[in-house]
Amino acid sequence: MAVIILLTTAILLIYIYFRISYTYWKKLGVPQLNPSFPFGDMAAVIFRRQNMGDKIKEIYDKMKGHKYVGLYFFSRKALLPLDPALIKNILSKDFQHFYDRGIYYDEENDPLSAHLFSIAGPKWKHLRSRLTPAYSPGKLKYMFGTIVECGHQMTDILKELVREDATIEIKEILARYTTDVIGSCAFGLECNCMRNPKAEFRLMGKRAFTQTIGDVLKMIVIRSFPSLAKLLGLGVFSSNVTSFFNQVVRETIEYREKNNVTRKDFLQLLIQLRRDGQIDDEPRNDDKKGPCDKRLTTEEAAAQAFIFFLAGFETTSTTISFALFEMALSDEIQDKARGEVNGVFKKFGGLNYESAMELHYLETIIYETMRKYPPAPVFLRKCTKPYQIPDTDILIEEGLSVLIPCYGLHRDPDYFPDPERFDPDRFNEENRSKIWDYTYMPFGDGPRNCIGMRFAMLQAKIALSLTLKNFKFRLSTKTKLPLKMETKGIILSAIGGLWINFEPIIDAQS
């Protein structure tokens, strides 16, 4: 009996606490929805009826006209700015107040979680400036040949598969391509996922992006009680994913150092940062001396290679897949893109760094693809210093999360008329400058934007140009239209996959 009374009292107290929490935004004068106990505004996401991107877009559409909206995740509060001017302040102008993402990491027990994406404070600034040269155009040029090799392997396999059956689910093929690219560029390994879909690298990539019920529960503990999560040693990823990547990096570094092997890849640059504290041709800059001015440890190097993989493979393969899907629906766009590829390859003697830089129409296709299907439909900031919303009395307190509604903005007819229409010309030279600031942000914005965007664009251009050169393609009736997005997972992905019929171009010389 005493236990029942105790339990009922505890539930009642929790209920009251949540109900009081749900008045927070209203009291501040910030519009809010109708949060319900105990999930706040996120019941559909928790129960996987809706993915986070769709949910935030739904709220964006519903609350349009307001400059900001207050949200609740369980009892935690988050701000959703809808006004591009306020978003600009948060991401760029007043970045000092929104330095971090507020993503959990545990440097001590789970060093792989302490990568550039999650790391906070001055340590992030230091790491970002250390790593920026590794993503420069010069370093991309250095890796170009490795990416093209993976592109050729992809079109070779496509040709073999098409001989058996012209209808192919492209998302999986492209995930194998981007895994091969990142495997060779970030880990210095030939993973060969193209030929072997069960390669460990591919399986680990799939595992990292699959959320089991156990993962969801673990994330709830991590988000709600980070100190308890640290105490329990809960890792962000499953332990086999973590130990696989740690081991791969450790062994590859040891092998290269022992055998004096160097390769043109990102890992080599990390090895330099580990050994010398800077990349070879990078000028010594005293500004880079910070609270953690030291060489990278092996664990830190492994974490940076890991985020290259994690942030790079699924986002890029999703973009390439949706670009092929849209071109498969429009002969006009596809023919124009193929015409450009053939012309540019002829002018520059095939696919090389110079020709890739000249594929301007293809670039507009990639930009428009990321507008319609931003791989990261929402991204995060954490308030690191109290912030008064300009021209209001509203004070955003330290520690509060801010969600940037990228998907909502990209499909807003006020910024992109007829938003469901796929129109690469929105991004041609003439129209691009007309796009409102902070309404188009597939790679985020401000000092904490995507460091890998040039790499992603190059990888996408290589895959798309080689596919256009070698195949004509049409959408298969196996693709379920209208597209519906998976309700699980972080990255946008179509339910049932994207199926395309390929017809090889006989005289294509890639």
**Where would I find the H helices in 188-225?**
200-209, 213-224
**Closest by Cα among 247, 218, 242, 244 to 230:** 218
205 Cβ contact partners less than 8 Å away, ≥ 6 residues apart: 175, 179, 309, 313, 314
Q: Would the CA dihedral through 172, 369, 466, 188 be positive or negative?
A: negative
Measured CA to CA, the distance from residue 384 to residue 205 in angstroms comes to: 32
Measured from the CB atom, is 32 or 272 closer to ligand HEM? 272
Measured from the CB atom, is 18 or 443 closer to ligand HEM? 443
Shortest distance in whole angstroms from residue 507 CB to ligand HEM = 32
Is-contact 127 274, C-beta < 8 A?
no
Shortest distance in whole angstroms from residue 260 CB to ligand HEM = 27
Residues of this chain, 449-478, that bind ligand HEM according to CB under 6 A? 449-452, 455-456
Measured CA to CA, the distance from residue 342 to residue 331 in angstroms comes to: 16
Shortest distance in whole angstroms from residue 194 CB to ligand HEM = 18
Residues of this chain, 346-375, that bind ligand HEM according to CB under 6 A? 370, 375
Binding of residue 117 to ligand HEM (CB under 6 A): yes
Sort strands 395-396 and 167-169 into parallel, antiparallel or unpaired: unpaired
Shortest distance in whole angstroms from residue 47 CB to ligand HEM = 26
Binding of residue 319 to ligand HEM (CB under 6 A): yes
**For ligand HEM, what does the binding mask look like between residues 67 and 106, x meaning CB under 6 A?**
----------------------------------------
Output the CA–CA distances (angstroms, integers) from residue 487 to 49, 492, 494, in the order listed: 6, 9, 9
Shortest distance in whole angstroms from residue 266 CB to ligand HEM = 7
Structure tokens at 454: 């040039």
Binding of residue 311 to ligand HEM (CB under 6 A): yes
Shortest distance in whole angstroms from residue 374 CB to ligand HEM = 7
Q: Would the CA dihedral through 94, 454, 416, 497 be positive or negative?
A: negative
**For ligand HEM, what does the binding mask look like between residues 379 and 398, x meaning CB under 6 A?**
x-------------------
Candidate segments 9-17, 74-82, 314-322, 500-508, binder of ligand HEM by CB under 6 A? 314-322
Shortest distance in whole angstroms from residue 445 CB to ligand HEM = 6
Identify the residue whose tokens are 């519009």.
Answer: 31
Shortest distance in whole angstroms from residue 87 CB to ligand HEM = 10
Measured from the CB atom, is 235 or 442 closer to ligand HEM? 442
Q: If you compute the radius of gyration of the chain from its CA atoms, what whole number of angstroms results? A: 24
- Element counts in the chain: helices (H) and strands (E): 20, 9
Binding of residue 312 to ligand HEM (CB under 6 A): yes
Given candidates 89, 184, 268, 316, which one binds ligand HEM under the rule CB under 6 A? 316
Measured from the CB atom, is 151 or 442 closer to ligand HEM? 442
Residues of this chain, 128-157, that bind ligand HEM according to CB under 6 A? 128
Binding of residue 424 to ligand HEM (CB under 6 A): no
Measured from the CB atom, is 9 or 449 closer to ligand HEM? 449
Identify the residue whose tokens are 């179509």.
Answer: 494
Helix (H) or strand (E) holding 404: strand 401-404
**For ligand HEM, what does the binding mask look like between residues 279 and 308, x meaning CB under 6 A?**
----------------------------xx
Burial of residue 459 (CB within 10 Å: 0-12, 13-18, 19+) is buried
Given candidates 30, 376, 409, 458, which one binds ligand HEM under the rule CB under 6 A? 376
By CB under 6 A, how many residues form the interface with ligand HEM? 26
Beta bridge partners of 379: 404
Measured CA to CA, the distance from residue 237 to residue 223 in angstroms comes to: 14
Which amino acid, residue 89? N
Strand arrangement of the beta sheet that strand 499-504 belongs to = 167-169, 499-504, 471-475
Shortest distance in whole angstroms from residue 255 CB to ligand HEM = 23
Given candidates 28, 86, 114, 116, which one binds ligand HEM under the rule CB under 6 A? 116
Q: Three-state DSSP class for 11? A: helix
Given candidates 448, 458, 469, 473, which one binds ligand HEM under the rule CB under 6 A? 448
Task: Determine the distance from the C-alpha atom of residue 149 to the mean position of all C-alpha atoms in its chain, rounded to a whole number.
Answer: 24
**Where would I find the H helices in 330-448?**
331-348, 353-357, 360-372, 406-410, 429-432
Shortest distance in whole angstroms from residue 114 CB to ligand HEM = 12
Measured from the CB atom, is 128 or 256 closer to ligand HEM? 128
Residues within the interface to ligand HEM (CB under 6 A):
116-117, 128, 307-308, 311-312, 315-316, 319, 370, 375-376, 379, 442-446, 448-452, 455-456
